[in-house]
Amino acid sequence: MNSISEVSLNLGLLLEQKNQIVVTAESCTGGGVAAAITDIAGSSAWFDRAFITYSNDAKIDMLGVATETLGRYGAVSEAVVTEMARGALRYSKGTLSVAISGIAGPGGGSEEKPVGTVCFAWASQEGWSKVDTCLFSGDRAAVREQAVMHALLILYRHVLEDESFC
């Protein structure tokens, strides 16, 4: 699968077949994953909602991310996206979630977290979870596009391989 739309289509077919529903919690991608999903006709059968939580206040208010977690680790951290993914499940009808927070640039990076650093978390109502941090290259649009693709591919691979959904 070479394109975001191809991954979204195939993910949707699997999710519908396995009666699963996705919810997203996005920061640096600004709803890019949700847009890719809703570009597919019929996605309402397998997509519930998107939380666009660009600010720390939004992460706290909409997803229940702990102020302490944000203060200790920063918004771009595996700890924060883990709480975002869990909150997205808690406040939706989703059975699977993906959460993303990162530094798309051109500014905002640091030595510890350079531009292109993106943290991801995926979770399911059944207890599956995964976290990942990637360093993508390119300009803001390229970083965001790579982040959307990565988020969708991990969801796709999980749903494809996880027989507990059947």
**Paired residues of 23 in beta bridges:** 49, 97
Please give the pLDDT value at position 78: 98
164 pLDDT band, cuts 50/70/90, is low
Of 60, 166, 163, 151, the closest CA to residue 99 belongs to 151
Per-residue pLDDT tens digits for 139-162: 999 999 999 999 999 999 999 987
Per-residue pLDDT tens digits for 60-108: 999 999 999 999 999 999 999 999 999 999 999 999 999 999 999 999 9
Q: Is the dihedral of CA 95, 54, 147, 131 positive or negative?
A: negative
**Paired residues of 47 in beta bridges:** 22
Q: Please say if the pLDDT value at position 6 is more than 80.
A: yes
Domains by residue range for the chain, with CATH: 4-165 (3.90.950.20)
CA–CA gap between residue 30 and residue 144 (Å, rounded): 9
Strands (E), 44-157: 47-52, 96-102, 117-124, 129-135
